Amino acid sequence: MIEHKIAVIRGDGVGVEVVEQGIKVLRAASKRFGIALQFQEFPWGSDYYFAQGRMMPEDGLDTLAGFDAIYLGAVGHPDLQDHVTLNGLLLPIRRRFDQYACERPSVLYPGVTSPLRDKKAGDIDMVVIRENTEGEYANVGGFQYLDFPEEIGLQTSVFTRHGCRRVITYAFELARKRGKKLNVTSVTKSNAQGYGMVVWDRAFEDVASLYPDIHTQSLLVDAACMDFVRRPEEFDVVVASNLFGDILTDIGAVITGSMGLAPSGNIDPERRFPSMFEPVHGSAPDIVGKGIANPVAAILSGAMMLRHLGEQSASEAIHDATLDVLSKGHTLTPDLGGMSSTNQVGDEVVKTLNDI
Ligand code: GGG
């Protein structure tokens, strides 16, 4: 039996609470399917920062390199600036392990109500592939005249032809693998961002020419935001820059019912390094400690992790059990109109998984 070594970083806020449920479900799946999962917890995040002055130890990335996957909760604390928390933990992991394809499905599941009128289960079924290591998140820039009235902040986006091609190729391959609408949409703002995003557009045209079986369209991000709301059923695979992918997937989450339902995988497609799986939502300080955070996004992220690790049956079982709980509608957190706790939803998924 292969043992999968998983580094767990619960992080901040509700990340701690939802990962608890995710691990509970993963443990149940490991028992049910006879797979060996070894979890090692790392108490990194904002509390670690308050104690140590950094979000993770200096050799944190070297430590993570020895794992098969990373399972993360959320990052962000009201008493710390978000650029400190993100640049101290989440973004260095994505870059160091070249997790260049961030896969974020948006699916309207049975039993879940979309805020969009007339949309029913299955009408929305798309995956956004967010470029995850460069673009607007490249962390190139600096301050000058810090704290003076003349203060300057420079932020440079980085679009390399190689970086664009590889993530766009991932999107086309995924469209083929899904075999659904065979459609890839590219999202940029290359009318205004006339250098980097033009490199992206050219890469998209190049790669598209290698996939004559796939339909394509290119949208400016403002039009894409509009179309996610007015015609989401037409999207299949969407590929977007780091920042635009982040924004679009929040829209994708809310039109499919809740931020609490959206999972993600930060993938190194070449499998040289551990990939990282996390809910799309953040640390949600407004509901921390209330026991009402929706654990479904974290649980489905765990299912994505098992799929990536080659444990297809266990992954599908977690996915199916979770969807079953959603569709029955008895055990839902308040964001979905229910009255159940985070813990009760986790327990119900475990119970359903064991009954499958
Ligand atoms: N679970 C992921 C998380 O904590 N997200 C907070 C956030 O702001 N992330 C920024 C990003 O994904 O780029």
Tell me the CA–centroid distance for residue 33 and ligand 1, in Å: 31
**From 222, 290, 328, 351, active-site residue:** 222
185 CA distance to ligand 1 middle (Å): 23
* 283 and 320 assigned to the same domain: yes
Same domain, 90 and 188: no
- Residue 210 pLDDT greater than 90, yes or no: yes
- Is the pLDDT at 348 greater than 90? The verdict is yes
Same domain as 222, residue 145: yes
Residue 105 lies in a domain: no
pTM: 0.97
Instruction: Give the pLDDT confidence of 74-95 residue by residue, as tens digits.
Output: 999 999 999 999 999 999 999 9
- Atom of ligand 1 minimally distant from the CA of 75: 4
Residue 330 falls inside a structural domain: yes
Report the alpha-carbon distance of residue 83 to residue 239 in Å, rounded: 24
Q: Is residue 110 part of a domain?
A: no
Give the integer Cα–Cα distance in Å for 282 and 206. Answer: 35
In a 13 Å sphere around the CA of 123, the CA atoms on its Cβ side amount to 19
Last residue of a domain, one of 230, 255, 280: 255
User: CA 290 to CA 161: how far, in whole Å?
Assistant: 46
- The answer on 351 and 272 residing in a single domain is yes
| Res 236: pLDDT | 98
Is residue 157 situated within a structural domain?
yes
Residue 127 in contact with residue 174, Cβ under 8 Å?
yes
Answer yes or no: do 4 and 95 share one domain: yes
pLDDT of res. 356:
81
- Are 304 and 263 in contact by the 8 Å Cβ rule? The answer is yes
Q: Which of 197, 230, 255 is the last residue of a domain?
A: 255
pLDDT score at 6: 98
Distance CA 149, CA 158 (A): 28
Atom 6 of ligand 1 has which residue's CA nearest to it? 282
Name the 3-class secondary structure at 73.
Answer: strand
Distance 56 CA to ligand 1 centre (A): 16
Query: Quick one: pLDDT at residue 221?
Result: 98
Residue nearest to atom 13 of ligand 1 (CA): 246
Residue 65: CB atoms within 10 A of its CB come to 14
Same domain, 183 and 202: yes
133 and 250 assigned to the same domain: yes
The verdict on 151 and 232 lying in the same domain is yes
* Residues 281, 261: Cα–Cα separation, whole Å: 9
pLDDT of 225-268, one tens digit each?
999 999 999 999 999 999 999 999 999 999 999 999 999 999 99
Catalytic residue among 246, 268, 335, 347: 246
Residue 114 has pLDDT above 90, yes or no: yes
Q: How far is the CA of 91 from the centre of ligand 1 (A)?
A: 9
- Is 324 among the residues known to form the active site? no
Q: Is 189 a catalytic residue?
A: yes
Q: For residue 291, what is the domain's CATH number?
A: 3.40.718.10
Question: Is residue 354 a part of any domain in this protein?
Answer: yes
Q: How is residue 183 written in tokens?
A: 């459609």
Residue of 48, 109, 137, 211 with catalytic role: 137
Helix, coil or strand: residue 330: coil
| Among 70, 86, 244, residue to substitute to test ligand 1 (most atoms within 8 Å of Cβ) | 86
Q: How many CB atoms are located within 10 Å of the residue 93 CB?
A: 24
Clarify whether residues 188 and 249 are in a common domain.
Answer: yes
Active-site annotation holds for 246: yes
Distance between CA 216 and CA 214 in Å, rounded?
A: 6
Q: Which of 90, 134, 139, 241 to mutate to test the pocket of ligand 1 (most atoms within 8 A of CB)?
A: 90
The runs of H, that is alpha helices, within 136-294 are 161-178, 196-208, 221-230, 242-255
pLDDT at 1: 80
Q: What angle do CA 103, 14, 104 make, to 5 degrees?
A: 10
Q: Does any domain span residue 113?
A: no
Domain span at 244: 125-255
Distance (angstroms) between ligand 1 centre and the Cα of 30 equals 28
Residue 177 annotated in active site: no
Q: Which residues line ligand 1 (CB under 6 A)?
A: 74-76, 86, 246, 278-279, 281-283
65 C-alpha to ligand 1 centroid (Å): 21
Domain's final residue, options 223, 255, 287:
255
Which residue CA neighbors atom 5 of ligand 1 most closely?
282
Catalytic pick among 47, 206, 250, 320: 250
Q: Are residues 217 and 277 in the same domain?
A: no
How far, in Å, from the CA of 215 to the mean position of ligand 1? 31
Q: Is the dihedral of CA 162, 280, 96, 318 positive or negative?
A: negative
d(CA 151, CA 147): 6
What pLDDT, on a 0 to 100 scale, did the predictor assign at position 2? Answer: 86
Whether residue 249 sits in one domain with residue 163:
yes
Please give the number of the atom of ligand 1 that sits closest to the Cα of 74.
4
Nearest CA to ligand 1 atom 9: 282
Q: Does 213 fall in a domain?
A: yes
111: in domain: no
Average pLDDT, the chain: 97
What is the number of structural domains in the chain?
2
